[in-house]
Amino acid sequence: MRHYFCTNCWRFIEEDMAFYTCPKCANPKSTKSRNGWSTPPILQPNQKTIQQQRVKKLRTWWRMLDENSLKLCKKHPDEEGTLFCECGMRLSENNAVQVRENGERNAIRIVGSRGSGKTVWLTTMCRSLRSEDTPFDLLGIGDTEMNFSIIETAFLKNKTRPPATKPNANLRFAWCIKDKNGLDNAEYPVLMVHDIAGEVWSNLRHGRVPEDLDHYVTSPGDLIFIIDGARLATDLPEKLQDKTPKDDWETTRTGDDGAEDRIILSNILNYIPQSKRKNMRLALVITKSDRLTHLKDEYPILDCYKRIEPKDPKKSEKEKQNSENQEKLAKLLGIAQRGALVGFGKDFQDFKIFTTSSLGFSPLKDKHIVDEKTLNRAPKPECVADPILWLLTSNGFAYA
């Protein structure tokens, strides 16, 4: 049975359970987002016309012999129907996904406050994950490729800031993670990004959460939490602050003693039952770590996570370094008023802290900046794929 994944409500749908419309019989309102940015209009249940029946029902009615056929209209037997999700979103070929045998599909979710560097990190991380030295590839689900290419082009090609996530924005991206060589049958989790303003996460409350967010947060799987490294830098004790101006492109980050990070993560944790958290892993990602390089002597800033392959001769040495680095990064979060995040991490099956830099440098006025929007230097990302590689390679996933 084929499965689809809806990027509008974050549901996995069996083909049988999707809604069927014959394009010749009905002329349903176009639910495709017009400019690629807006949220598609949601069909109310009472708007479901007679032409919109569940696939299963139609197949049973017409006693279809070919159980894969989507020519289910008696009046138009040559017409392939269109499938819709319960939420009204149109499902295309691009939404088709493979589902694990047990019917479950793990998820990797990305969450973080506004301006923390999520979009820029996502862009460089995706490129890095697809690069030659990893066995992974990404396959956009639904409209992801179309929407994401706008951001990729802006940032990676034109060296301009990606469009900021507006307070009422509702951008969604999702990818199937694939094995590049197709040799490995392992089913990787779906990478999901529900790009909403940080305020929504801050106000997350039980019982008052829209269905899509509920699916997003509670699907079984892992969480990547983005910590704004520039903000963290301003929350350091006076003596650890770097007095030389470091970044002329993003000058406005002010500290908040970690308040927003704490509120967002604790709200998410309150929302996910303990029993589920025990099966989840958490990656705490400190972005913009180029702003923290003055701490390099004491803390492993941008000292990338050491990947360990099964027969690595330096296995124990690398393990030791990773765990020493983890202790130091936990200490760093502590002195930057974010010790609570480490405490929350202990609720998960496993958690790790990462430092990344999507730009690889802190843009300076006369050196790297053309104008408010544009840089003259291409990003040289550092350690950006580490969090996701950690999630993909532990827990039994192969990495060869």
Ligand X SMILES: Nc1nc2c(ncn2[C@@H]2O[C@H](COP(=O)(O)OP(=O)(O)O)[C@@H](O)[C@H]2O)c(=O)[nH]1
Judged by the rule CB under 6 A, the positions of this chain that interact with ligand X are 112, 114-120, 161-162, 164-165, 247, 249-250, 287-288, 290-291, 357-359, 362
39, 69, 92, 165: which one binds Mg ion (CB under 5 A): 165
Nearer to ligand X, 7 or 358 (CB): 358
Write the CA distances from 399 to 175, 189, 279, integer angstroms: 19, 14, 21
- Please identify which residue in the block is written with the tokens 């014959």: 22
Q: Could you tell me the smallest distance in angstroms from the CB atom of residue 117 to ligand X?
A: 4
Q: Is 119 in the site for Mg ion (CB under 5 A)?
A: yes
Give whichever of 119 and 289 is closer to Mg ion, judged by the CB atom.
119
Tracing tokens 């130091």 back to the chain, one arrives at: 328
Distance CA 197, CA 166 (A): 7
Instruction: Give yes or no for a contact between 5 and 95, defined as CB atoms under 8 angstroms apart.
Output: yes
Judged by beta carbon distances under 5 to 8 A according to partner kind, the member of Mg ion, Zn ion, ligand X, none in contact with residue 116 is ligand X
Residue 319, both tokens = 């393990």
**Among 25, 156, 340, 369, contact with Zn ion (rule: CB under 5 A):** 25
The residue among 175 and 188 lying less far from Mg ion, judged by its C-beta, is 175
C-beta pairs of 98-103 under 8 Å, 24+ apart in sequence: 98/3, 98/176, 98/187, 99/3, 99/12, 99/187, 100/187
Shortest Å distance, C-beta 173 to Zn ion: 15
C-alpha distances (whole Å) from 145 to each of 73, 95, 172, 186 are 31, 12, 11, 23
Tell me which residues in 50-109 interact with Zn ion (CB under 5 A).
Answer: 73, 75-76, 85, 87, 89
The distance of closest approach from Cβ of residue 195 to Mg ion in the complex, given in angstroms and rounded to an integer, is 6
What's the min distance (Å) between Cβ of 162 and ligand X? 5
CB 277 within 8 Å of CB 256:
no
CB atoms within 10 A of CB 311: 6
Q: Is 160 in the site for Mg ion (CB under 5 A)?
A: no
Residue 30 in tokens: 């176009």
**Nearest alpha-carbon partner for 284 in 216, 339, 361, 233:** 339
* Among residues 3, 5, 9, 188, the one that binds Zn ion under rule CB under 5 A: 9
Q: Which of 3, 4, 5, 6 binds Zn ion (CB under 5 A)?
A: 6
Q: 85 touches which of Zn ion, Mg ion, ligand X, none (CB within 5 to 8 A by kind)?
A: Zn ion
The backbone region for 203, taken as left when phi is positive above 0, alpha when psi lies in -120 to 50, beta otherwise, is alpha
In whole angstroms, how close is the CB of 310 to ligand X at the nearest point? 32
Of 166 and 180, which CB lies nearer to ligand X in the complex structure?
166
The set of residues, in sequence order, having a beta carbon less than 8 Å from that of 26 and lying 6+ positions away, is 49, 51, 52
Q: Is 69 in the site for Mg ion (CB under 5 A)?
A: no
Provide the minimum distance between the beta carbon of 211 and Zn ion in the complex, in angstroms, as a whole number: 9
Residues forming contacts to Zn ion in the complex (CB under 5 A) are: 6, 8-9, 11, 22, 24-25, 73, 75-76, 85, 87, 89
